[in-house]
Amino acid sequence: MNKFRVSGFTLRVLGSGLLLSKHNPKRETRNLNFASRARRAIADERLQGALARAMDHFVHGREIAFAELEDPAALKQHGRAIRAHTLAHLDEYLALLAQSVQRHGGHVHWARDAAEANRIVVELARERGIRLAVKSKSMATEEIYLNHALESAGVRPVETDLGEWIIQLAGETPSHIIGPALHKTRAEVIALFAKATGRPVPPDAPIPDLTRIAREELRQHFLAAGMGISGVNFAVAETGTVVIVTNEGNGRFATGLPPIHVAVMGAEKVVPTWEDLMVLLKLLTRSATGQRISSYVNCITGPRRPNEPDGPDEFHLVILDNGRSDVLGQSRFREALYCIRCGACLNVCPVYRKVGGHAYGSVYPGPIGAVLTPLFQGLDKFPELPHASSLCGACKDACPISIDLPRMLIDLRQIEAEGKPILNFRFWILDFRLLSTSNQRWVERVLFRLYGWALQYPVLYRLGAKVGYWVQRPLVRDGRIPSVPVPPFSGWTQFRDFPQVAAQPFHERWSKLEDGEAA
Amino acid sequence: MARLHNYPRMAELSTGAFLDRIRTALRRGDRRESALARPGEPVTPADARVHANAVRARAVAAFPVSLECFAEKLTAVGGKVHCVESADQARRLLLDLAAAQQVGHAAICAYPDLANLGLEDALAEAGITVTRVAPSDWTPEIRQALRVDLVQADLAISGADYAVAETGTLVLAAGSFNPRTATALPRIHVALVRPERLLPTYQDLTLLLKADWLSDDSQLSSSCFTFVTGPSRTGDIEQTLTIGAHGPGEMHVIWLVYESR
């Protein structure tokens, strides 16, 4: 049995929890459970409209982009083979990557966790007296809350992707991997931009005007910044090249204008060769936005060469573990690291499409977030996320790498169920609040345990069927049970009916049939 | 500034310690997976150079088909594709574009492909300020002056090191006459490209990138390859496609088709 390892995460989780509460008052929703956050999101009509529009837009684009490929299945298979091979040899390819970066005059930093990664970036800024850093969109830096770390060290980070800038101004977190601000309306953006620029923005300003305001405002920051921070979509081991994909062009500026470029990557983002890169790039942009390729793909190898007129004087690559090696060591979850962060699984997920990204309470939302977050940060911290899925399998179908997300969600559920004893008195005494939020799950657990136990004894099972039939009688209406007033059953009947327990159980009918045949 | 002390200087993790964690994890995981063969053999620069001429010859032969594909793909994302049959036509087209967009300041990356087109003189005659980026000893002062010019320019004119038909993409290698932000800062980017630069696929591109830019000891001679496909765009506000976010709002590719004759 592959035991789920949580002990190693405990400190890290505590640390990030503190960060959250200290720096981000907007995240008070974090204290609610998934169900409450989801309920809140579903009641938000504005959000529902935005989600429906955005999701259809992304899904439609992806379908068209894949339909024109000669053999999409073969391409996806090739992509998966590359990821599987790379992860199985991750140590070798990371070593090669580091060597290649250094060969081109770049610096490589290794960070075991968020705190180490933040310290490295903050230290680089501090040593050079840098007060302003421009950032191009990066999930890895979201994962480690780099902006908070920079701010508390007196460095102002400015997000330059339009969507990221909007949510930075709003003090929020991204609600989608690809469209971080898709939950924001034009009116909200107008208010945020007026506040940020200190100039009035007409209440009917069209979207191109808003984009121009962002362009002008952020252009000043690009030119003034002492440091450019980017994520890494892929890092090519054979040449030490980091690849940054953008549509707006902010990636070109953030990596090309400031005197120092710091790229932060999850350790799993390495690809062996340029040939492999092209396969994955094709899958990434088609899956993410339905584009054959994004407007700009920057392949950056080390700092500016002496004969080049621009580009940074220094290039630093921060390679982040932050739970990845733990996942790598668990065979059944390793493929979660194959993810190339395209967001396709979010767009097709019936749960994400209704609740949006913030309901997950984690940096990575949607099906991949429901797997990665408990793996990276601890299942004890995010026990509900693996349950935030209908297991319909749409995510696996949409995934360009065919990552088996439903299977991993079930495995996580299993671990979570097995890891909890039916009654834990210490738990009970120490933390009533925790118990009360998971009360319903606790009752479920007891019921399933009883059910499983009763199934072992035919006598008990038959008795149960009989008792069940009599107990349900006051609730039956027209052959269905439309409402049960007691949890956890009430949760089910809130939206669905229970089927009635049959007057004559199957085993009785079966034996009667057999008797009939015999006769 | 007192808060800086939140982050005391600490010894950084060594490569070995980090990789050891990965190695241990891989040992813990499924052994069968580590036997996974790599899909496709890596191509060395030497291999690439052996095949480079064949790839180039194939690309030239495929030019008419490739151009059609290139134009279709680039036009689909809002780029403009033109073909000119003489240097004179190229100059006139460029001047028309500049006039239509009220260009006051143009920056030209002195790609060798552009050398005989007389673009600078034509632009200057039309009263447009021209910044020519040519190889130089890029001292901090000269670099700063160039940056100021590039920020002011409305129009960036460049060549392209490669173009890929499959997606309608230009590939620009940063180099002594091609600053990587020169084609990003102005609001219009016009690239004049010779037919032999057009490659049918990304497979061809990776091979030539390795053949042309990667030394036998795996040193890449450019710090940045930028793939450009159409104008800068965003859909971040209400999923409404908006052209011209941070980069150029207009992007033109002018094919110098007479060059192949």
pLDDT in tens, A426-454: 444 443 434 444 555 677 778 888 888 88
A273: closest chain B residue by CA? B42
Q: Which residues of A touch B174 (CB under 8 A)?
A: 304-305, 308, 310-311
Instruction: Test A123 with B7 for CB contact under 8 angstroms.
Output: yes
Nearest CA of chain B to the CA of A385: how many Å? Answer: 24
Count the neighbouring beta carbons within 10 Å of the beta carbon of residue B221.
15
Which residue bears the tokens 């001429």? Answer: B53
Distance CA A42, CA A38 (A): 6
Q: Return the CA Rg of chain B.
A: 23
Q: Read off the tokens for A435.
A: 């118990």
Report pLDDT for A235.
Answer: 98
Q: Of A307-321, A447-461, B228-242, where does mean pLDDT reach its minimum?
A: A447-461
Task: Please state, in angstroms and rounded to a whole number, the distance separating the CA atoms of residues A180 and A151.
Answer: 21
Question: Number of helices and strands (H, E) in chain B?
Answer: 8, 12
HSE value, Cβ hemisphere, 13 Å, CA-based, for A317: 36
Q: What percent of chain A has pLDDT over 90?
A: 71
What backbone phi and psi angles, to 5 degrees, belong to B193? -130, 140
pLDDT at A24 over 70: no
**Residue B236: pLDDT above 50?**
yes
A110, A123, A255 ranked by CB distance to B9: nearest: A123
Q: Given an 8 Å threshold on Cβ–Cβ distance, is A81 in contact with B39? A: yes
Q: What is the pLDDT of residues A142-162, one digit of tens each?
A: 999 999 999 999 999 999 999
Lowest mean pLDDT among A209-223, A402-416, B16-30, B192-206: B16-30
Q: What average pLDDT does chain B have?
A: 92
Q: What residues in A contact B248, CB-CB < 8 Å?
A: 249
Report how far residue A189's alpha carbon sits from residue A484's, in angstroms, rounded to the nearest whole number.
Answer: 45
Place of tokens 């970036």: A121
Q: What percent helix, strand, coil does chain A show, rounded to 5?
A: 60, 10, 30
CB-CB under 8 Å, B242 with A329: no
A421 band by pLDDT with thresholds 50, 70 and 90: low
Across chain A, mean pLDDT equals 88
Q: Which of residues 217-236 of A touch B (CB under 8 A)?
A: 218-219, 222-223
CB-CB under 8 Å, A276 with B1? no
3-state secondary structure (DSSP) of residue A364: coil
Per CB-CB distance under 8 Å, the chain B contacts of A295 are 77, 228-233, 247
A418/A405 Cα distance (integer angstroms): 20
Tell whether A320 lies on the interface with B, counting CB pairs under 8 A.
no
Greatest mean pLDDT range, A441-445, B9-13, B28-32, B144-148 = B144-148
For residue B120, name the pLDDT band (cuts at 50, 70, 90): very high
Residues of B in contact with A104 (CB under 8 A): 219-220, 223
Cα Rg of chain A, angstroms: 26
Let me know: does B59 contact B148? Beta carbons within 8 Å.
no
Q: CA nearest A94 in B: which residue?
A: B19
Instruction: Give the pairing of strands A234-236 and A270-271.
Output: parallel
**Cβ neighbours of residue A115 closer than 8 Å, sequence gap 6 or more:** A12, A15
| Bond into A458 cis (ω within 30) | no
Interface ipTM above 0.90? yes
Q: Which residue in chain B is spatially nearest to A247 when comparing CA positions? A: B233
Alpha-carbon distance B127 to nearest alpha carbon in chain A (angstroms): 26
Interface A-B, measured as beta-carbon pairs within 8 A, has a size of 302
Q: Which residue bears the tokens 């009533």?
A: A432
